[in-house]
Amino acid sequence: MNTQLRVEHLSKTFVLHQQNGVRLPVLRDANLTVRGGECVVLHGHSGSGKSTLLRSLYANYLPDQGHIWIQHQGGWLDMVQAEARQILTVRRHTVGWVSQFLRVIPRISALDLVMQPLLELGVERRQCLARAEEMLDRLNVPRRLWHLAPSTFSGGEQQRVNIARGFINDYPVLLLDEPTASLDGRNGSAVVALIEQAKQRGAAIVGIFHDDAIRQRVADRLYDMQPPNEVKTPDDHQ
Ligand code: ADP
Ligand code: MG
């Protein structure tokens, strides 16, 4: 399969206090290539920068250096250099994202939340609805909840709505930040099945999974995060 995603020399340092200049280097010269049909799992202890790398891939964080090449509609786009308008297009068509928690929007039903990304692509409403129902069903979200706003749902139910939304479109690239953290075994398996199906159709997946069993089932490769550097204060530079 072809390369879908390539990270080159990516670095990111958080400035913790603007005034006294405390800096936390999190990513240092990260390099990663992901092919279609492959799931790479980011591996490292808490605070090692897994989410920071994933968020950078989705252009939620702007790295200090490096490139994030994504294959998008037959060409290559660097998410680091891209304009806001291009980033939105890439997200809409090419890169699916599942965070650890659902961003609940008051008064919007689970069904509407799940099908929104497909509607935005111009897919006919009836088709969107059918697909959203199929996804909610696969993730064992009870039918009685489909027309309710997820703000009152349990953590696991919200997360399953979130995953249904992330997989609603057949995105060529999928970024998954601990999607199974609040799920039980049965629902964890439902997510594993979705990931396997996405791999079969050629999606390139980068994910974070704490559960060893799930990691072993989905990972084609582990990407070891470098331990983060110590916090640097201005004195350290002298
Ligand atoms: P992981 O996902 O591996 O647990 P993170 O990428 O969330 O790690 O965090 C890596 C380090 O960067 C942590 O020390 C965290 O506190 C810090 N960090 C993450 N996001 C920010 C932010 N927006 N501002 C400042 N520091 C951050
Ligand atoms: Mg994290």
Least confident of 123-132, 161-170, 201-210, 225-234: 225-234
- Tell me if 233 is assigned to some domain: no
pLDDT at 101: 81
Mean pLDDT within 34-61: 96
Residue type, 89: T
The pTM of the full predicted model, rounded to 2 decimals, is 0.93
- Tell me if 202 is assigned to some domain: yes
- Tell me if 136 is assigned to some domain: yes
Pocket test residue of 10, 52, 101, 229 for ligand 1, highest count of atoms within 8 A of CB: 52
Domain extent for 175: 3-224
- Number of residues that this document lists for the chain: 238
State the complex-level ipTM. Answer: 0.98
More confident: 225 or 182: 225
Secondary structure in 3-state letters for 141-198: CCHHHCCCCHHHCCHHHHHHHHHHHHCCCCCCEEEEECCCCCCCHHHHHHHHHHHHHH
* Cβ of 48 below 6 Å from ligand 1: yes
Residue 207 pLDDT class (50, 70, 90 cuts): very high
- Tell me if 232 is assigned to some domain: no
pLDDT at 226: 73
**pLDDT, tens digit (0-9, with 9 covering 90-100), for 76-103:** 999 999 999 999 999 999 999 998 888 7
- Tell me if 216 is assigned to some domain: yes
Number of domains in the chain: 1
117 Cβ contact list (under 8 Å, min separation 6): 92, 165, 168, 169
* Cβ of 165 below 6 Å from ligand 1: no
- Tell me if 234 is assigned to some domain: no
pLDDT at 16: 86
Q: Please check the confidence at residue 20 and state whether its pLDDT lies above 70.
A: yes
Q: Which atom of ligand 1 is nearest to the CA of 53?
A: 6
Query: 25 C-alpha to center of ligand 1: Å?
Result: 10
- Tell me if 197 is assigned to some domain: yes
Please give the mean pLDDT across all residues of the chain: 92
CATH of the domain at 41: 3.40.50.300
Give the CA dihedral 171, 173, 176, 180, nearest 10 degrees: 50
Distances (CA, A) of 231 to 26, 64, 102, 164, 237: 9, 17, 31, 38, 12
Q: Position of tokens 């398996």? A: 189
- Tell me if 110 is assigned to some domain: yes
Nearest CA, atom 19, ligand 1:
52
Residue 229 DSSP label:
P
